[in-house]
Amino acid sequence: MEVVRIMGGITAEPMHATAGEVHLVRAPGEGLEAFEARAVAAGAASGAGLVVVGGLPNGEGAGGAEAEADALAESSMSVADPDPHDCAGLAALVAFADRTGLFAPSPRHLAALALLRGAAEAGG
């Protein structure tokens, strides 16, 4: 099972997770590690090959991974100073897509990843 954690969103810490057909919302006061463990358990129970912790609460399964990549690409390319921390999340999703073939990374995903990698290198 692949686990992708996307950090640095609007709420800073993940509040949503997608595991196959299951969508989870982090409970008030639930620690990040406990939430991630609950998401992984839900993914294992549902037979999911991918658990995405964080990002936006949209999509399911491979569609969810593609939607997360779309959201990261869109936000990264629509701001003057992209967040280099988004690079790890988008890179993990693109690598997962390449490895599994569940979705094809779009030219926009790859362009955003190049932009994020450049921002990360410039930031030190």
| Tokens coding 113 | 């990843």
> Does residue 84 contact residue 123 with C-beta atoms inside 8 Å?
yes
Place of tokens 């406990």: 34
* Model confidence at 34: pLDDT above 90: yes
The predicted-structure confidence for 61-109, as pLDDT tens digits, reads as follows 455 666 667 776 776 666 666 665 566 667 777 777 777 676 677 787 7
Is the pTM for the entire model greater than 0.75? no
The predicted-structure confidence for 101-118, as pLDDT tens digits, reads as follows 766 777 877 887 787 777
Rounded Cα distance, 2 and 123, in Å: 28
Rounded Cα distance, 21 and 76, in Å: 27
| Tokens coding 2 | 């692949």
